[in-house]
Amino acid sequence: MDASSASVVLALPSQPCQYVMEALGDVPLRVAYERLAGMVRMLGEDVQAMALHNAYAIDMPAPDTLTRRGERIAGIRGLSIDTIELYERNMIDRLALRLVHAELPVGS
């Protein structure tokens, strides 16, 4: 993901994104993105973690829309889009706990 994509993920005009930015610290946007991406990577590689990885377009050089990415992973895994969305929400909850407890990846 490039810097402009990172700004979409992290700088949306919503209160939850404001909280994410506050939890990641007073750092440049690129550093905040790398911290968030590192935290998502730390969630593992099971299908639920990959759903969140996919939703945030982590390590995707040319991400498509969120809807298309969700449909693609659902098709690859043989799951419904509703299941993928449930997995995303479950992993967002786990990610939020890491943010609250400041469990940043090594090197951040």
8 within a domain of the structure (yes/no): yes
Query: What is the count of structural domains for the chain?
Result: 1
pLDDT at 16: 56
The Cα 10–Cα 17 span in angstroms is 6
107 within a domain of the structure (yes/no): no
Better-scored residue on pLDDT, 25 or 103 = 25
**Secondary structure class of 14 (helix, strand, coil):** coil
- The model's pLDDT over 8-53, given as tens digits with 9 standing for 90+, comes to 444 444 455 677 777 777 888 888 888 888 888 988 889 999 998 8
81 within a domain of the structure (yes/no): yes
105 within a domain of the structure (yes/no): no
CB 63 within 8 A of CB 37: no
pTM above 0.75, yes or no: no
- The model's pLDDT over 54-101, given as tens digits with 9 standing for 90+, comes to 888 888 887 788 889 899 999 999 999 999 999 988 888 888 887 777
> CB count, 10 Å around CB of 29?
16
